[in-house]
Structure 1
Amino acid sequence: MTLLTVLSLHVPHDRRDDIVNHYLAADILRVSGAVSAKLCVDPNDPGAVVVIAEWPDPSAYEAWQAAPERDEFSRRILAIAGNDVTATTDALHLVAST
């Protein structure tokens, strides 16, 4: 069953662009192995960064969670944000799509 994940990060306002640039430079959305992934920012909250990813199944997402590349990427995000990151993840089973 297809899995959608929504990663919501909140970082210092003045670090958001640096976080976005790191996502782009590291090409992490492609490297993750997700079927598709979207990097989003909230125009009303300059500290918000959201990643919405589609995974073919929960095991693909679990593999990404265990990947050394993910750990290294996450450590770099923390460093860029001065260790001031709040993160939440929601995992949803996709039941319909157009």
Structure 2
Amino acid sequence: MDHTNELIKILLDKTTSDAERDDAAMDLGFILNDETVEVALLNVANDKKTDEMIRASCGESLAQIWIGHNQVSREKLALLTGIAMDEAIKLIKKENMEYTLE
């Protein structure tokens, strides 16, 4: 199994420790060219049963991906809630990017 799929598997596995899931979420922020990464991060970011630390990392990783593409997805950003949204916006603002580009 390739590295990206392994990280997604860890992130989505609710029986995996929170620390491992959080690490996977952060590592996925460096994978820019795989739509399944964004889908997995969005799903976990909005899962209210998931620990807030993991949800925050998912939001930050999504922002990192968008920044890597130099284009923030306004549509996907609008799907985020709570701490995931807060972390995404914080990173986008830190990078001085407009989140209305796409």
Provide TM-score, normalisation by structure 1.
0.26
Between Structure 1 and Structure 2, the one with more helix by share is 2
Which structure has more RCO (C-alpha within 8 Å, separation ≥ 6)?
A: 1
Q: Considering only CA atoms, is the larger Rg found in Structure 1 or Structure 2?
A: 1
Normalized per residue, which structure has more strand?
Answer: 1
Q: What TM-score do you get using the length of structure 2 for normalisation?
A: 0.25
